Amino acid sequence: MRLVVRDVGFTYPRGDHPVLTSVSCDIPAGTAAAIIGPSGSGKTTLLSLMGDLLPLRTGSIEAVDSRGIGHPLAEAATWVFQTVSLLPARNVLDNAAIGAHSDGVPKADALSRAKDCLARVGMAGRERDPARTLSGGEAQRVAIARAMASNRPLLLADEPTGQLDARTSAAVLDAMIDARGDRTVVIVTHDLEVAARCDMTFELRDGALHTRPGRVP
């Protein structure tokens, strides 16, 4: 799914100044894009607009398929949030399968996909553990596996590896990016190492996006 953002501005209802003034970008299908920028520059705000978690008032954001047909952002997007939420009493496998299953993937397929994605993020062998027994970084990896296992064509991730050490973070990101297929991945991060693993990097500064060189050769 191609993501086309045009002239997006945004001011919070009680905000005294615009967080975003004129944001534009065009992210082709199957691309992993990083959004970096100083704290408070509006990265999470922009990601929330991309996933229709905040109402868009100025500009446009479109998720367009290969036939040029636009799709509702809320239906196209799956999320990895900064603060992970898992169902604490359910096991790791059920948590990882829940996104795909609730989107209509038959249960057996959802479980098998979830198992594969858990292995990719280094959680093989932990499938039967209750989610409440996981560390923060393990829970974060299950949330990433849950998003990877879903069918949705747009993966929006807000600091997805913030609780992982550098080595695990690199391995998990590579797994997420390598498994993207046609899925478009947008990652908000402070970490330039994370951005360097993506195909494109945008810097959000003074309310606008600036393109930076992408993946480090």
Binding site for ligand ATP (CB under 6 A): 12, 14-15, 19, 37, 39-45
Q: Is the CB of 47 or the CB of 134 nearer to ligand ATP?
A: 47
Q: Judge contact between 71 and 1, C-beta under 8 A.
A: yes
User: Toward ligand ATP, which CB reaches closer, 91 or 169?
Assistant: 169
Q: Closest separation between CB of residue 215 and ligand ATP, Å?
A: 22
The arrangement of strands across the sheet holding 32-36 comes to 77-80, 154-158, 184-188, 32-36, 200-205, 208-212
The rounded distance, in Å, linking the Cα atoms of 23 and 41 is: 12
Whichever of 15 and 28 has its CB closer to ligand ATP, that residue is 15
Which residue's CB is nearer to ligand ATP, number 2 or number 43?
43
Quote the least distance from Cβ 123 to ligand ATP, whole Å.
Answer: 26
Q: State which residue, 42 or 51, has the beta carbon closest to ligand ATP.
A: 42
What distance in Å separates the CA atoms of residue 144 and residue 147, rounded to the nearest whole number?
5
Q: Considering the complex, state which of residue 49 and residue 121 has its C-beta at the smaller distance from ligand ATP.
A: 49
DSSP symbol at 133: G
CA 151 to CA 158: how far, in whole Å?
Answer: 19
User: For residues 181 and 184, what is the distance between their CA atoms, to the nearest angstrom?
Assistant: 8
Write down the least CB distance from residue 184 to ligand ATP, Å. 20
109-144 as b/e: b if 16+ CB within 10 A = ebbbbbbebbebbbbeebbeeebeebeebbbbbbbb
* Smallest distance from ligand ATP to CB 141, Å: 21
Alpha-carbon gap, residue 135 to 121, rounded angstroms: 14
Distances (CA, A) of 22 to 28, 30, 82, 186: 20, 25, 25, 18
Q: Least distance to ligand ATP from the beta carbon of 187, Å?
A: 12
Q: How far is the CB of 25 from ligand ATP (least distance, A)?
A: 16
